[in-house]
Every structure is written in structure tokens, then in C-alpha cells.
Amino acid sequence: MVRFLLRRLTVAILVALTVLTLSFLLTRLSGDLAISIAGPNATQQDVEMIRQAYGLNRPLAQQYLDWLVRAVQGDFGESFFFKDRVANLIAHRLPITLTLGLVGLALALVVALPLGIIAAVREGSYVDRGVMLVALIGQAMPSFWLGLILMVVLGLNLGWLPISGTGGWEYYVMPGIVLSFSAIPSLMRLTRSGMIEALSSDYIRTARAKGLSRISILVKHGFRNAAIPVVSIAAVQLGFMLGGSIVIETVFAMHGVGYLAWESISKNDFPVVQAVILVLALIYIALTLLADLLNAVLDPRLRTS
């Protein structure tokens, strides 16, 4: 188990360094940052002053090494637009995005897992076809369109939920539903296919021959083995939710990390953009590492792979 963990940690660190390097280079390849910061009406003297003030006149390699050393220490510099430390901005906004992602994943699992199991048990029936139709609709539905529909119906017409802003739990219901719709199809299909394969296995037939209850066979024996790929895809989907929350947070005016990224991109605030990319990537890497460890617990054979 220790060797398995060390291998996964090594891969995670290498991926994190790659993302850190790419996020730095992509902001530099977008154009002259000094001109972007100074604005279209700035003189050449203003541009040179900004280039010198922010160290943009130094060699690119030196800029990268300085930023790498500071980023490893949690220092992402100061925002050009918000005039605050980037670390403070992310620390203030990140809980909103994390809460939104967890709500979306929880709703997706509550819907997808039971429907996937039911579809597997009733394979080929109208119930199975209906479940797959739901998955198809969820896959094809644009998230921003669904968000606007929910705002009109649940917020304006019925008045059940607030349509924008950040506050109590009720502010996360509609955005969470929208996020969950993007994850439900893949979780549902994977649960269905895993359960179909598990229910046709020899150990399931043995469990039935022993007279075990239907619930015990489905949950304890069938779903435990079918859950291994579901755990991996759930971690990936949560990472997608956190990274893709920029659209949902913009639609519902939730001032999380996604909305911060949109504001920073529109204002050419590249220190914030770099930091947001890095933080979300690190969370994504941590989630995949956690999924690998959970899978290793569920299936000991993976520890030697």
C-alpha cells in the first residue's frame, strides 16, 4: 500500500508542476502583459514603468522561477484590479465554489446511483430505456439554459428559491441542480454498466444459491464491485464541477472562485488567473489521488498494479 501511495504521489506532484508551468506560460503567450495592464490610452513611458514595477522586464526564466518559489509558499502576489493579496481573494471565494461543487455532486449521486441500479436490474425493459433517455437529455441540455429556466420557474413564478447571490443553503439549491445535471448521465451509465457486469458474475450466482436476500446481493455484493469505476468518475466530475462553475456562478451571481476567474480574465488580472488555475488544478489532482486510494481500499488487486 505504501508503494502504491508513493507512486500516486509522485505522479500527482509531476502533474501539479506541469499545470503550474503551463498556467505561467499561457498568460505570457497571450500578449504583452504590461500593455494589457496599462490600458489602450497609456504612453510608452507608462508601459515601461509598469513593466519595471512588476518585474516584466526580467528574463522569462527568472520570472518563472521567482513565481514558482512564491507559489510553493502560498504567495501568489497581489491582484492588479482588486488591490489585495491573491491568496486572500481565493481563500474568501473558495468555500463558495467548494460548497456548490459538493452540493452538485451529492444531488448527482442521489439521483444517478439508484436509477443506474434500477436500470441494471430491469435491463432491456421500459424502465431501463426511460433511465437512458433521462441520461441522454441530461447530457444534451446546456447548463446555462437549465439555470435560466429554473430561475424563471422556481425563482420568479413560484418564488420558492432566491435567483441570485450567496447566502444560506437555499442559494445553493438551483445552482446545485444545474451542476448535477452535467454529472448525472455519466454516473448513471457507469453505474448501470457496472451493475450489469457484476450481476452476471459467478459470485452473484453463488450468493443467490446460498439464499441471500435480494437487497444484500445488490448492495453488498453487486454494488461494491460496480462502485470502483463510479468512485473514480465521481472524483473527476467534482473536479469538472469546480472548474466549470464559472458559468453557473456567473448565471446565478455567486461570487466564488469561478466568478473571480471571469472577473480577472476580463480585467487582465493575470496573477489571479494564474492562481485560480493552479488552485483548481491542485484540487482536481487531490481528488483523483483520493479516488485512487479509495479504489485501492475497495479492490486490493489495484495496489499491485
pLDDT digits (tens, 9 = 90+) for 103-146: 888 888 888 888 888 888 777 788 888 888 877 777 777 777 88
In sequence order, what are the residues at sequence separation of 6 or more whose Cβ sits closer than 8 angstroms to the Cβ of residue 14?
none
Domain boundaries along the sequence of the chain: 86-304
User: Quick one: average pLDDT of 228-250?
Assistant: 77
- What's the rounded Cα separation, in Å, for the pair 172 and 176? 6
Closest to 231 (Cα-Cα) out of 193, 287, 175: 287
Query: Which H or E run contains 285?
Result: helix 270-298
Average pLDDT, the chain: 78
Residues 72 and 20: beta-carbon distance below 8 Å: no
Q: Which CATH number fits domain 86-304: 3.30.450.40, 2.40.30.20, 3.40.190.10, 1.10.3720.10?
A: 1.10.3720.10
The C-alpha R_g of the chain, in whole angstroms, comes to 24
Which pLDDT score is estimated for 32? 63
User: Quick one: average pLDDT of 258-277?
Assistant: 81
Q: How do residues 16-67 score in pLDDT, each as one tens digit?
A: 788 878 877 777 666 666 666 666 666 777 677 777 776 777 777 887 888 7
User: Quick one: average pLDDT of 213-239?
Assistant: 72
Q: Spell out where 163-222 has E strands.
A: none
Residues 131 and 192: beta-carbon distance below 8 Å: yes
- What's the rounded Cα separation, in Å, for the pair 105 and 177? 9
Q: Read off the pLDDT band of 73 (50, 70, 90).
A: confident
Q: How do residues 138-154 score in pLDDT, each as one tens digit?
A: 777 777 788 888 888 88
- What's the rounded Cα separation, in Å, for the pair 209 and 144? 50
- What's the rounded Cα separation, in Å, for the pair 48 and 30? 18
- What's the rounded Cα separation, in Å, for the pair 215 and 233? 24
